[in-house]
């Protein structure tokens, strides 16, 4: 009878969406505490970076196999360079440059539309609105973020970090179940980057579409 009563209580909790409470009852709170502690350490490390730059290669998307360079500077300044495409933002304006078509599309920066390369979102914002799980293999950590609702444009995001809390890879599963993997290398922290890198002036003869 006691076992039946326990099952009824658990079923009622699940129906009310208290999945996390059930997990804590069944497995204890150590894993959640470890994930929370790791997130705080990751966020503190990120806050100490004035700049972050790295080479990358991505697979599992329309741009699969594309390699490039990523630059980040505080206040949402980003620059993503690939052979045929360059994406630049100074935190206010976004320039999307298609080198093959000699075209630049200009738009207002919108945090909701920001690329998954947006480190402030991945490290500072998303953990607070996602369920998190931490796994450790050797000196490598995998932090998995699962959104609490469908407002975010992904099902899961895995942040792979080394022992210094530096992100070395991202595994993103979108709402359609497609996987995007971004591997980072040659990471450089706090190397001076001129603000001119986060601005753009169209070259003569380039087609410009201004959506601001």
User: Domains of the chain (ranges plus CATH)?
Assistant: 31-210 (2.50.20.10)
pLDDT for position 11? 36
Torsion of CA 172, 58, 124, 191, to 10 degrees: 170
pLDDT of the chain along its 212 residues, tens only? 433 343 343 333 333 333 333 322 333 333 444 899 999 999 999 889 899 999 999 887 655 678 999 999 988 899 999 988 999 999 899 999 999 999 999 998 876 655 545 777 888 889 999 999 999 988 899 999 999 987 888 899 999 999 888 999 999 998 888 888 999 999 999 999 999 999 999 888 999 999 98
pLDDT for position 149? 84
pLDDT for position 6? 38
**Phi and psi (nearest 5°) for 113?**
-95, 5
Q: Using the structure block, give the residue that is written with the tokens 């579409």.
A: 209
pLDDT for position 177? 87
pLDDT for position 113? 58
Dmax of the chain from CA atoms? Answer: 81
Rounded to the nearest 5 degrees, what angle is found at the Cα of 120, between the Cα atoms of 98 and 43?
150
Cβ-based neighbours of 104, under 8 Å, separated by 6 or more = 95, 96, 97, 98, 200, 202, 206, 207, 208, 209
pTM for this structure?
0.72
Task: Name the β-bridge partners of 161.
Answer: 141, 167
Task: Name the β-bridge partners of 95.
Answer: 88, 106
- Token pair of 37, please? 């502690």
Cα dihedral sign, 99-105-109-114: negative
pLDDT for position 12? 39
């Amino acid at each position: 009878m006691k076992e039946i009563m326990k099952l009824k209580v658990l079923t009622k909790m699940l129906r009310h969406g208290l999945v996390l409470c059930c997990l804590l009852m069944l497995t204890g709170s150590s894993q959640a505490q470890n994930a929370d502690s790791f997130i705080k350490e990751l966020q503190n490390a990120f806050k100490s970076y004035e700049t972050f730059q790295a080479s990358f290669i991505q697979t599992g998307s329309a741009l699969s196999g594309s390699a490039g360079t990523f630059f980040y500077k505080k206040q949402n300044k980003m620059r993503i360079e690939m052979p045929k495409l360059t994406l630049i933002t100074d935190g206010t304006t976004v320039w999307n440059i298609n080198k093959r078509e000699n075209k630049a599309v200009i738009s207002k920066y919108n945090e909701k539309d920001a690329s998954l390369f947006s480190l402030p979102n991945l490290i500072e914002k998303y953990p607070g609105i996602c369920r998190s799980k931490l796994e450790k293999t050797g000196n490598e950590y995998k932090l998995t973020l699962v959104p609490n609702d469908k407002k975010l444009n992904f099902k899961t995001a895995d942040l792979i970090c080394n022992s210094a809390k530096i992100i070395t890879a991202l595994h993103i599963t979108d709402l359609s179940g497609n996987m995007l993997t971004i591997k980072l290398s040659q990471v450089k922290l706090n190397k001076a980057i001129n603000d001119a890198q986060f601005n753009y002036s169209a070259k003569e003869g380039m087609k410009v579409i201004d959506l601001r």
